[in-house]
Amino acid sequence: MAAGEGFAVTGQEKQLVAPLTEEQVRALKVGDVVLISGEMYTGRDAVHSYLMKHEAPADLRGSVLYHCGPVVMKENGGYRITAAGPTTSIREEPYQADIIKRYGVRAVMGKGGMGRRTLDGMKESGAVYLNAIGGAAQYYARCIEKVIDVSLMEFGVPEAMWHLRVRDFPAIVTMDAHGNSLHADVEKASAVLLEKLAEPVF
């Protein structure tokens, strides 16, 4: 896929090749747009629950863990991803900080952001949250060059851990390794607005 196909490249994007180092991740800040190439893994509820109780089926050091339940087709003896949009990340809040620390995950990606516990864990361990584009499932599928492997298929296709090779996979840093969160900022701004709206009018 040509860079920028279906995504307006400005030249300001940060090019990242996974697996990532702590130094690379700590250099990122909220608002940075990144284009990820290299390898990543999918993981939703079943994967996160599994990782809390068992060893990971793959080496997750430096990895990008994508909250995604892909649509997958069998093709020529292998697999092809036909849709790979993000799922809501807050469901993984009870697990995420522990998984980042235990396995050396450097980036978590999904939609909607995560909470204070994950933000604190990212600051401690050196990780970021990447907000993926909602409604871009087919576009993201075109960023996937290859399905390298799949683990935990006993959980079903959407909940399995898919090991993918991607190219120029776009996302925005909305929680960084310095304790900053655009999601928290939005919540604060919304709370202030709601408070003003609730004030009695005389």
Question: Are 93 and 118 within 8 A, CB to CB?
Answer: yes
Write down the pLDDT at residue 4: 44
The mean pLDDT of 155-164, rounded to a whole number, is 97
Is the pLDDT at 197 greater than 70, yes or no? no
Is the pLDDT at 199 greater than 60, yes or no? no
Write down the pLDDT at residue 184: 75
The mean pLDDT of 33-47, rounded to a whole number, is 97
pLDDT band at 175 (very low <50, low <70, confident <90, very high): very high
Can you tell me the distance from the alpha carbon of 66 to that of 120, in angstroms, rounded to the nearest whole number?
19
The domain over range 16-198 is classified in CATH as 3.20.20.70: no
What are the structural domain ranges in the chain? 16-198
Return the active site residues: 48
Is the pLDDT at 8 greater than 90, yes or no? no
Q: How far is CA 83 from CA 24, 74, 92, 164, in A?
A: 29, 13, 21, 13
Can you tell me the distance from the alpha carbon of 28 to that of 34, in angstroms, rounded to the nearest whole number?
9
pLDDT band at 186 (very low <50, low <70, confident <90, very high): low
Write the burial class of residue 11 (CB in 10 Å: 0-12 exposed, 13-18 middle, 19+ buried): exposed
